[in-house]
Structure 1
Amino acid sequence: MRVVVAGATGLIGGALLPLLKARGHHVVALVRDEAKAVDADEVVVADALDPVAVRIALRAARPDVVVHQLTALRQMSADALEATARLRTEGTANLIVSAREAGAGKLVVQGISFATAPLGAPVLDEDAPLYLDAPDPTWARTVQAVAEMERLVLGTPDIAGTILRYGTLFGAQTQYDPDGPFGARVGRGKMPIPESATGVTSFVHVQDAALAALAAVDSEVTGVFNIADDEPAEGSTWLPEYARMLGAPPPRVLPGDIAEKVLGWFTHHQLTAMRGARTDRARAELGWKPTVSWRRGLASG
C-alpha cells in the first residue's frame, strides 16, 4: 500500500517509517521542512495548517492510508500545547478533506490515553469520558482538541478511522529520557512528590507506539485503542523507582496544600489523580502488545 506519514520527522513518525518499509509498503513522508532527512520512498512538503498545500501534497502522494502523527510537543510548554491543539483540529480537518479527495481509504491518528477524566477505577478503558472540563485552561483546551480530532476522524464518511491513544511516551528524546527535561530534573533530585501520589501513569515506549501504528495500518479493524505498557503505576511507585534507576536521591515529599503550586497543575494531576489505560482492546483486535516496560526502559533512553 501507499502510506503517507504526516509528522514523519517526529519521534513516533520517525520510528514508524522503517517499520512500514520493512513490511513492504511504499512510504511517503509528509514534512513541513524538506531539509530534514527522512527514511522514506518519497517526500512531499506541506504545512498541515495550510489546506491548499496539504491538498497538493496528498494529491501527489496518492495514498491508500494516511497516518497522522503530527504534534508540536518537543517542549511541554503552553505554546507547544496550543500549537498541537491546532494540529489536532485544523490540521486533522485539512488532512481528512485532502485524503478523501486523493482517494485514501483509511486514517490512523495519534491520540492520548491520559486525557480521561479522573473518575472511577484507577485504570480505564477507551469508553471512559474525557476530561473536557479540566480546571486548568491549557489542559482543557488540549483535551477538547483531542475530542474534536476523534470526532472528525471517526465521523468521516468513506474513510475508515483508527485512533491510537498512546500512553505517556518514554524512550530516547522524550521528556523521560534521562537527558530530557523531566528526566534531568529527576536525576538532579529536583522533582518532589506529593504526599498522596496515587495518580496512575500508563507509559509506552516510542518503538511500541510505532509498532501499534504499523498494526493499525495493516489491520482492517477500526475504532479507538489505548496503547500502553502492561504496568500502570501510581506516582508513589514509578517516580521513586525512576529516581533510584538514575542514581538520584528519593524525591522530596511535598505537603498536599502546596504540592500543586510547586509542581504546576499538570504534573500534580499526573501524580495525584490521573488514570491509567487498559489495553485489552488493542491486544484482542489489533493483535498488538507492548515489548518494553517502564521498569526496564524508563531510565535507558
Structure 2
Amino acid sequence: MRVLIAGATGVLGRSLLPLLRARGHHVTAMVREPAGAPSADLTVVADALDRDAVRAALLVARPDVVVHQLSALTDRGPLGFEVTARLRTEGTANLLTAAREAGARRIVAQSIAFGTAPVGDPVLTEDAPLYLDAPDEDWARTVQAIAELERLVVGTEGISDVALRYGTLYGPGTWYARDGAIGALVAAGKMRLPETAGGITSFVHVEDAAQAAVLAVESDATGTFNVTDDDPAEGSAWLPEFAAQLGGPTPRTIPADLAGRLLGWFTAYQLTELRGASNDRARLSLDWKPSRPSWRGGMVDDER
C-alpha cells in the first residue's frame, strides 16, 4: 500500500517509517522542513497548518492510508501546548480534507490514553469520559484538542478510521529516555514523590507503539484503541524504580498538598490522581500485544 506519515520526523514517525517499508509498503514522509528528513520512498514538504500545502502534498503522494503522528513535543519537553493543540485540530482537519481529495481510504491518528477524567475504576477503557474540564489550562486545552481530533477522525464519512490512544511513551527519543525531559530530572534527583502517590500511569515502549500503528494501517478495524503495556503502575511504584534504573537517588518524599506547587500541575496529577488504561480492545481488534508487557526493569536498559 501507499502510506503517508504526517509527522515523520517525530519519535513515533522515525520508528514507524522503517517498519512500514520493511513490510513492503511505499512510504511517503510528510515533513515541515526538508533538512533531516528520514529515508523514505518519497518526501513531501508541508506545514500541517497550511491547508493548501497539505492538499498539494497529498495529491502528489496519493496515499491509500494517512498516518497522523503530528505534535510539537520533543524529547526535551513541549515546544508549545498551543501549537500541538492546533496540529490536533486544524492539522487533523487539513489532513482529512486532503486525504479525501487524494483518494485515501483510511486514516490512523495519534491520540493519548491518559486524557480520561480521574473518576471511576483505577484502570479505564476507551469509553471513559475525557477530562475536558481539567483545572489546569494547558491540560484542559490538550484534552479538548484530543477530543476534537477523535471527533474528526472517528466516523469520518468515506474513510475508515482509527485513533490510537498511546500510553506514556518510554524508550529512545522520549521524555523518559536517560537524557529526556523527565529522565534527566529523575536521574539528577530533582523529581519529588508525593507522600500519597496513587495516580496510575500506563506506559508503552515507543517500538510497541509503532508496531500498533503498523497493524492499524494493515487492519480493517475501526474506532479508538488504547495502546499500553500490561502493567499499569502507581506513582509510588514506578518513580522509585525508574530512578533506580537510571542510577539516580531515591526520590525524596514531599507532602501531597505541596505537590502541585513543587512539581507543577500535570506531574502532581500524574502521580496522585491519573487513571490507567486497559489495552484489551487493541489486543482483540488489532491483534496487537506489547513485546514489552511491563516497564519494570527495562525503561532505560536498551539505551546503555
If the length of structure 1 is used for normalisation, what is the TM-score? 0.98
Q: Letter of the aligned partner of 2:189 in structure 1? A: G
The equivalences for 1:236-275 within 5 A come to 236-275=236-275
- 2:296 matched residue in structure 1: 295
Question: Aligned partners of 1:149 and 1:257: how far apart in 2?
Answer: 34
Question: Aligned partners of 2:154 and 2:80: how far apart in 1?
Answer: 25
1:132 aligns with 2:132: yes
SS of 2:297's partner is: helix
- 1:222: Cα distance to partner? 0.6
SS of 2:114's partner is: helix
Q: Letter of the aligned partner of 1:15 in structure 2? A: S
SS of 1:165's partner is: strand
Question: Aligned partners of 1:102 and 1:111: how far apart in 2?
Answer: 23
If the length of structure 2 is used for normalisation, what is the TM-score? 0.97
- 1:55 matched residue in structure 2: 55
Q: Which runs of 5+ in 2 are unaligned?
A: none
Question: Aligned partners of 1:54 and 1:34: how far apart in 2?
Answer: 15
1:31 aligns with 2:39: no
Would you say how many aligned residue pairs link Structure 1 and Structure 2?
300
2:203 and 2:232 in contact (8 A); partners too = yes
Question: Aligned partners of 1:35 and 1:251: how far apart in 2?
Answer: 40
The equivalences for 1:67-82 within 5 A come to 67-74=67-74, 75-77=76-78, 80-82=80-82
Q: Relative to structure 2, which stretch is displaced further, 158-167 or 37-46?
A: 37-46
Q: Which runs of 5+ in 1 are unaligned?
A: none
- 1:297: Cα distance to partner? 2.5
The equivalences for 1:145-160 within 5 A come to 145-160=145-160
- 1:194: Cα distance to partner? 0.4
1:144 aligns with 2:129: no
Question: Aligned partners of 2:170 and 2:15: how far apart in 1?
Answer: 13
- 1:296: Cα distance to partner? 3.3
- 1:258: Cα distance to partner? 1.1
Q: Relative to structure 2, which stretch is displaced further, 242-251 or 187-196?
A: 242-251
- 1:91 matched residue in structure 2: 91
- 2:198 matched residue in structure 1: 198
Q: Letter of the aligned partner of 1:191 in structure 2? A: M
- 1:219 matched residue in structure 2: 219
Question: Aligned partners of 2:253 and 2:35: how far apart in 1?
Answer: 46
Question: Aligned partners of 1:187 and 1:33: how far apart in 2?
Answer: 33
- 1:286: Cα distance to partner? 0.1
2:245 and 2:297 in contact (8 A); partners too = no
Question: Aligned partners of 1:173 and 1:18: how far apart in 2?
Answer: 16
Question: Aligned partners of 2:151 and 2:167: how far apart in 1?
Answer: 20
Question: Aligned partners of 1:87 and 1:287: how far apart in 2?
Answer: 29
Q: What is the aligned-residue RMSD (CA, Å)?
A: 1.0
Question: Aligned partners of 1:282 and 1:155: how far apart in 2?
Answer: 18
Question: Aligned partners of 1:23 and 1:278: how far apart in 2?
Answer: 28
- 1:210: Cα distance to partner? 0.4
- 1:188: Cα distance to partner? 1.2
- 1:244: Cα distance to partner? 1.4
- 1:249: Cα distance to partner? 1.9
Identical aligned pairs, as a percentage? 63
Question: Aligned partners of 1:245 and 1:207: how far apart in 2?
Answer: 19
1:160-189 CA-to-partner distances (Å, cap 9, x unmatched) read 110000000101121101111211111111
2:31 and 2:37 in contact (8 A); partners too = no
Question: Aligned partners of 1:21 and 1:297: how far apart in 2?
Answer: 27
- 1:37: Cα distance to partner? 3.1
1:58-116 CA-to-partner distances (Å, cap 9, x unmatched) read 00000100000001101434x52111100000000000000000000000000000000
